[in-house]
Structure formats: structure tokens, C-alpha cells
Structure 1
Amino acid sequence: MTATSPAPDARIDDLMRDQPAFASLEFFPPRTAEGVANLKERIVRMRDSTKPMFMDVTWGAGGSTSDLTLDLVKFIRSTGVVANMHLTCTNMTPGKVDEALAAASACGIRNIVALRGDPPLGEDKWTATGGGFECALDLVRHIKREYPEMCVSVAGYPEGHPNAISELPSSQSAASLTEREKLRCSEAGGKVSVCFDADYDNELKYLKEKVDAGADFIITQMFFDPEVFGNFMSDCRAIGIKVPIVPGIMCINNFGGFFRMTGFCKTRVPPTLVAEMEKRKDDEHELKEYGVEFGAEMCMRLLALGAPCVHFYTLNLEKVVYGILDALGWTTELSAKMDLDNDAGTMQAKGSAWARVGDEVQSMFGSGVVKEVRQDGAACIEMRSWKLAFGQTPTAVLQAGMYKKV
């Protein structure tokens, strides 16, 4: 009896034509076995709660997690979600690339994110492995030649590729920049960085080469100004790039990690966003709440600009993603439910959405004290603002979300 190959995933570009607005999620391979087990549990939860069109798994700096990446995309497929596997040129000979593509194809993976990749750990300059591919364009051409049935996505850089971003000379004022350059201009640590128009235009031409070579859609690098995305999309269309452009959304989860990541990628952080994060940097819960508010407003603007979806760089975390999707109206009370699920065993309050026994709460029916918290999050509240005959105090049972800790 011969084994049959699994049915291949649908192509993401085909799915996008049938579903004009959707969410998708990106994860990275953890460093420990425990982290991998936790991520697999999270993938299943997020599949059930967000119903994503597809899930990405990154390849890892320097190709360091190639085997684990393949294991995770296989796991995603086993849960019934379309997997989009990252593949980079870093530390990859043509033979290794072919092995990875053959393994992916054999298990039904039909969607690949083709990237050049970052330099290996500890190296500042990117160099091709002996005989390997020089850039993402080479990789796209190879995949389309050897596996024409695969849907290939590539990276787009609304603010310019980090390698094309330059520090403004001290002799030049930011006021001298063009209006397009000012929108891509970033100020940090007393230094001004920008992708000059000529470099940006060259990046666009290279992106078009990748599309002309067969790339089926684009996923952008993170950005924090919707107008930057709007301009990028208009610029792409103006030079003949017609494929879907998916905005990558970096969730704001903590202060230090956010600025390390944006600094590494040379991403522009608008001054207003910096100021709001500074106010909340010592309160992680408050910062995440602001991350939800900011992320939801940005997603709404992006969808209004014509983005086909919102693609979350989750950082392997759930809370802020759930909050944004709740705010968009695509899900209902996922964030509050997550708090309840996490804390049902200890009854420890996390945030203002619910409380523990003995806490004072406020609801549309008045104030009261929590006497019991049930496993589903409903609370039995002794309503102090109500008085019945003979001094009796009534108890109300309110569902999660209908009361807040005072």
C-alpha cells in the first residue's frame, strides 16, 4: 500500500480574492522545547479565537531555525490553518534551499515568503553563502522555476529598506528634505535618518522586479504611520505593481522591546507615539491597553486606505492582538476572556474588566462588592446601591464585561 501525499494548502492569493478583509498572524520559533510547546498551544487558541486566513513562521536569523520552522508550519497545517513558510538566503546553499522547498511541498505547504534574510548572528554585513543566492529576487526566480504551483510573497518597505536608510549629515537640516522624505524621516538620539527619494525609488524598482519575477503578493515591514502605507501603496501602483499589498502590524507589548526592535529596523516612530508610550512605560498593563487603542485606530485607517487585511507580527503573544480585533468588531471580548482563562485558578485581577472576591465594582446597575467569581467570569455582586425591605441587600449575577473594578 503506497502512502498518498497530503492535499496541498490553498494559495493565499486565491483566498484573498474571495475574502477582501481578514486577519493573519506571524510567529517566530522559540529557543526552548518548553517555548515550542507553549507556542503550539497558543497557535491552537488563536486559530479558534481569531479564525486567521493564514499563519506565518519566520525562518530565523541566519537560517538558525530552519528545521523548527518547518516543524511549526507542519503543525499549523495539522490544525487546519493555511501555513505561509518564510525562507531566506542566509546561510543557505542552493542544495539546502531545494531541500527546504521539497520538504515543504511534500507535506502540502504551498505558500512561501521569499526573503534575503538578516546577516548571521554576530555579523554586521550580509554575504551570500558559497554558490548561494544573492538576494530575494534570485530566490523568487528559483521557486517559480522549480515550483510554479507555489504562491510566493515578498517583503515591501514603506519607509525604505534599512540598508537604504541614511543618517542625515549634520550640515543638512531636516527642513531641507522633500515632503515625501519628511514622511519617512526618523529622529532618535539626536540623529535624523531618512531613505532619500532616489534610494526609495530604487527600492520600488527592485520590488517590481520581484513581482515581475512571479511574486504573488507583498507583506510590508512594520511602520506606525498609516499615511506612509498609503503613499507606499500609491507609489507601487504608479510603477505597475498590481499585486495585493498586506500591511504588517507590529503590536505594542512592552516599552524596551518595542524600541529595541524599531531601532534595529530603523523604523520611524512618530513623536506623538513616543510621547504616549513614555507616559506609560512603567505600567505594562496600561501600555498594552494603549497598544490596543493605537493598533485598532491604525488598522481602521489602513483598511480605509484599501489594505486587504491586517497581518499581525504577534511576537508570540495574544493579548494585544485580541484587543485590536475586539476593537475592530471582528471578535467579541477575546481580551477579557483571556484574562479570565489565565486567572481562573488564582482569581487574581488583571486590569479593569473584572475583579476578585472582596473587590468593589461598578456596573450600569450601580456599585457593589464581589462575593463570588464563577469559572465563566460571571460575578455574584452584593449591590450596595440597592436596599430592600428590612435592610436586605440584593445580589446580582453579572457577566464578564458588565462590571469593572473600581
Structure 2
Amino acid sequence: MKVIDKIRAAAAGGDANGSANGNGCDSSSNSKVVFSFEFFPPKTEDGVDNLFERMDRMVFHNPSFCDITWGAGGSTADLTLDIANKMQNIICVETMMHLTCTNMPVEKIDQALETIKSNGIQNVLALRGDPPHGQDKFVQIQGGFSCALDLVKHIRSKYGDYFGITVAGYPEAHPDMIGSDGFATLEDYHKDLAYLKQKVDAGADLIVTQLFYDTDIFLKFVNDCRQIGITCPIVPGIMPINNYKASYVPAEVTAALEPIKDNEEAVRAYGIHLGTEMCKKILAHGIKTVHLYTLNMEKSALAILMSPRYKRTMAPPTNVFRVKEDVRPIFWANRPKSYLSRTIGWDQYPHGRWGDSRNPSYGALSDYQKFKVYCLGKLKSSPWSELDGLQPETKIINEHLGWGRPGGYVYQKAYLEFFCSKDKLNAIVDKCKSFPFVTYIAVNKGGSWISNVALTDVNAVTWGLPSKGDYPANCCGSRQLQCVEGRGI
């Protein structure tokens, strides 16, 4: 879904993360606040894994969208594309990807746009971009664009209305127009406004501003935009101050920071207070959108929002091609560390019974005495089995091997369950002939099934390894991978 449509829906009193009740963008009391987060590509693999974990926690607060930056000089292009894809399709948050002109011939720009389009992403922030590392000024490359205006025109011309296009606005004028005194001349300021209107007239439907710390400057900027005919929503960009070395801030902010500059916690607390007051003032003036530059940090941004913790349901797909699906795939293979992060506390619930028995919170197992009696053959049935009594291989353990002394382990073998068509099933079965250690069983809703495991064979998915000195119990097939197929034979 395009971000502009979400903003219009919220302004009309609809759902900023779903359907719209109307069009346009107003400041009525019925309109809902739209907030969003910006992230940048980390420099290390561990940093990327940690970013996904952080995104998961922040997306819990239901932002209307999140964006990911492109990197100076296109230095993180491939990583940005990969992160954007995972944000849209795994984190399931509406994603806006930055795209710049720096070091980007038209062919590479189209390749990036086609990639995100195929991944169901509909939102682009079109920028000229910063100069590559080691250069002071932007230089147009051969076959590339010279400015964001050219990029906006190209996207609209080639891709029509598919993409929602956002452009940058500068409340104090573009940095290239800022003089040595820290200010732009009035003439340069108005030139920059006129250029912004050109970008909107060329097809941009949303403006997100550069960061600022003087709310009055932002409000004046919005009014100046309206005076020259810019009518699209203008989203204020807020960056919480996290340290004393923040970029240009008003004199009163510098004065407030000076006494606490050596106290990081105090500086951060002040940054949260300042950001909160800025947002309150902006909202009080009828602007119901806020974009937070997080610098990949969560605490200050979330503290400013103070969002109520809504009961979270499974996030629906945000990929434009999959919005009607009611099943969300979980690609843990792409996010192993995120999986560990999600499950690290499971041994605390309930009462530590599902984790490591060496954990000090590990609970008593009195509730499972019935299962013990069942395994010993003294109980005919159990809630965990549809069959009456023990099967022959389990009786062998009782009669000949025994369950071993305390201190053993139970292992669970990896297996897959999925739906597929008959044609794909035939291809899988054919492939499995080359991998005898892979077993499969496929069944359709009519009850017909096929498998490479005979009715009398044992294919252990779970097996036990008693304590040292005992024989392994029910460990046959321990190196196998079980594949289960569900529909379409």
C-alpha cells in the first residue's frame, strides 16, 4: 500500500494501517496520528541481525511505515535492497526505500526499482544523494541523473502510478545553500521552495523534512509551502538528541545541554523531553504526522511516542501482491539470531519446564508423572498419542534397553511441513531419490498418501539419549530429515 494512501486514510478518520474512509488530508480532530521510523543499513552482519530484532520490537508499536536509507554514494545499494525486502515481507511493515542519483546510471536505478516492485514494495524516497566518500560535491555520472527532480520524473514516466513517491523538504533550505554563518539567504530559501514545488508537480505525492530543532521554523516552512501552492502532506522529521555533539540546534537548546554535556543519560533524557514537546506543538497545529530518525536506536524514539501497547495480532502481509493472504510465512532461516532472541526466554515459561533442566528456574515435573507411567506401559492411553498402548519399538526399550539413569537428553529432529501441487510433489519425490537420508510422507485431503518409508519402518523425529554409559533409546533415523506434504497429490 502506498504511504500517501495511509496518510489520507488516517486524515479521514480511517485506519492508518489499513483501509481508508476517504481521501485528502485534513487536520480535523477525527484524524489519526501517523508515525514512522527511519533506519540505515548497518556496517556488519551482526549489526544487520540486531537491526531486524530491533525492528521487530519497534514495529510492535504499529508505525504506518518505516524507511531504509540508500547510503552515501550508493555504497549500501545491495544491502539496502535486501533489508527493504525483509522489512516488507518478513517484518511485515510498509516499507519505503530511499533511492539516490549518486553513482547510479539509469540502468541501475531501473534495476533497483524493478527489484522492489517484484518484492511488493510501493514506496520510494527520491533523493539526489550525498557525494561519494572522499568527494566534496555531487557530480552527475554519465547516463545518470543530476537531481531528485529528474529521478521523480523518470519514476512517474516509466512506472506510472505504481509507486508512491516521497521527496525531501528542507525547513532551513538545502544544506548546499546554507552559508558559513549557518543560515541560507532569503533568496536561496525561496529558490529551494520553488524547486520543491517542481518535484511535487512532477509527481511526488509526499514530503518528509530534514531534521530540525526549532518547531517554529518548521511551521513557517509548511505555511510557506502552502502559499506557493504545495498541497501534499508535509511530514516533520524528528531526530532525538542522543549526545551533546548533535548537529545545529537553536541557542536555547545549546544552553540547556551545556550544563549536562558530560552526563549521557541526562542528555538523552533532555533529548526525549525536547522531542516530545516538539511533537506536541506540531500536533497542536493540526499536523498529524511524525517521522522519527532513529539512528537505529529504539529507546529515545519510543519514549517520545509513548504509544499505548495495543494487543498485537499477527501482522498481515504488506507485499502488494499478497495482501489477501491470511497466512504469514516465518522465514527463520533468514533470521537465526532473531529466532534465538525471540525464544531465549522460553525456559522461563511455564515455570521453566520447557528449557534446560540446569536452569535455576526449572520447575518440578510432577504434572508429567502420568506420561512416565504411560511410557512404562502401565497406562493404556495418553493425550499425546492417538494410539492405544505402546508400540513395539517402545516396548523394546522397556523390556531390553531401559530408559537409563537421570541426566539424559531428548532430541527433536528438524522436519518440514508444507503444501504443494502434485507437479511440485513429483519433482520433490524425484529429487529425494538422490538423497536417501531424506524421508518424506505426502497425503492429500482424500487420504491418499505416498512415502519412501515402509509401513513397518521406524522414522524417529524425536529420540532420547540416556546418561553416559547407557544405550541410546529410539535413535534410529537420527540423521534423517522428515518432509511432510499436505495437499495436491
Assess same fold via TM > 0.5: yes
Partner Cα distance (2:165, 2:302) in 1: 28
Matching residue's letter, 2:232: V
1:220 corresponds, among 209, 212, 216, to: 209
SS of the residue aligned with 1:255? coil
Alignment partner of 2:86 out of 52, 58, 75: 75
State the alpha-carbon separation in 2 of the partners of residues 308 and 146 from structure 1: 32
Q: How far is the alpha carbon of 1:203 from its aligned partner? A: 0.4
What residue is the counterpart of 2:53 in the other structure?
Answer: 41
Measure the CA separation in 1 of the matches of 2:304 and 2:288.
16
Equivalent-residue separation in structure 1 for 2:296 and 2:244 (angstroms) = 16
Equivalent of 1:55 in 48, 55, 66: 66
Structure 2: gaps (5+ residues): 12-32, 311-340, 346-360, 362-489
Counterpart of 1:297? 277
Match of 2:290 in 1: 310
SS of aligned partner of 2:300 = helix
Q: Measure the CA separation in 1 of the matches of 2:6 and 2:309.
A: 24
Asked whether the equivalents of residues 63 and 92 of structure 1 are also in contact (C-alpha less than 8 Å), the reply is yes
Task: Report deviation, 1:26.
Answer: 0.1
SS at 1:67 equivalent: helix
Query: C-alpha deviations, 1:377-402, integer Å up to 9, x for none?
Result: xxxxxxxxxxxxxxxxxxxxxxxxxx
- Match for residue 118 of structure 1? 130
- SS of residue paired to 1:285: helix
Report SS of the residue matched to 1:85: strand
Of 12-21 and 134-143, more deviation after overlay is shown by 12-21
The answer to whether residue 25 in structure 2 is matched with residue 13 in structure 1 is no
Tell me how far 1:305 sits from its aligned partner.
2.1
> Which one of 234, 238, 243 corresponds to residue 232 of structure 2?
243
Residue 323 of structure 1, CA deviation = 1.1
Q: What one-letter code is carried by the residue in structure 2 that aligns with 1:97?
A: I
Rg larger in structure: 2
In structure 1, the partner of 2:172 is 159
User: Kindly tell me: are residues 332 and 44 of structure 1, through their superposed partners in 2, closer, same or farther at Cα, counting changes over 3 Å?
Assistant: closer
**AA matched with 1:157:** Y
Q: Give distance in 1, aligned partners of 2:224 and 2:269.
A: 33
Q: Could you give the per-residue CA deviations for residues 245-294 of structure 1, whole angstroms, max 9, x where no partner exists? A: 000001111223x2xxx2xxxx4x11110111122211111111111111
Residues 149-171 of structure 1: CA deviation (Å, up to 9, x unaligned):
1100000000010111123xxxx
1:75 deviates by: 1.1
Hey, what's the Cα distance between the residues in 2 that align with 1:127 and 1:229?
30
> For residue 66 of structure 1, what is the aligned residue in structure 2?
77
Which residue matches 2:200? 211
**Structure 2 residue 138 is matched with structure 1 residue 107:** no
Letter paired with 2:6: L
Query: C-alpha distance in 2, partners of 1:306/1:210?
Result: 24
Deviations 1:290-312 (A, max 9, x none): 11111000001111223231100
Q: Could you tell me which amino acid in structure 2 is paired with residue 15 of structure 1? A: K
Measured after TM superposition, the shift of residue 80 of structure 1 is 1.6
- What residue is the counterpart of 2:387 in the other structure? none
Residue deviations 1:220-245 (CA, integer Å, cap 9, x gap): 00010111011000000000000000
Higher strand share: 1
Aligned to 1:193: 182
1:331-376 deviation per Cα after TM superposition (whole angstroms, max 9, x unaligned): 369xxxxxxx9xx99xxxxxxxxxxxxxxxxxxxxxxxxxxxx9xx
List runs of 5+ in structure 1 lacking aligned partners: 1-9, 168-191, 334-340, 346-373, 375-406
The answer to whether residue 252 in structure 2 is matched with residue 272 in structure 1 is yes
TM-score w.r.t. the length of structure 1 is 0.70
The alignment's C-alpha RMSD in Å is: 1.8
**CA positional deviation for 1:123:** 0.4
Deviations 1:197-219 (A, max 9, x none): 11011001000000000001000
Please give the per-residue CA displacement for 1:66-93, whole angstroms capped at 9, x wherever unaligned.
1111111111112221000000000101
Contact 1:93–1:132 (CA under 8 A) maintained in structure 2? yes
Structure 1 residues 157 and 207, CA gap change in structure 2 (3 angstroms) = same
Q: Give secondary structure in 1 for the equivalent of 2:104.
A: coil
Distance 1:331 1:120 in 2: 41
Runs of 4 or more above 3 Å deviation: none
Between the two proteins, the alignment pairs up a number of residues equal to 291
Between the two proteins, what is the percent identity of the paired residues? 49
Question: Equivalents in 2 of 1:280, 1:147: separation in Å?
Answer: 51
In 1, Cα distance between equivalents of 2:190 and 2:63: 33
Give 1:193 shift. Answer: 2.5
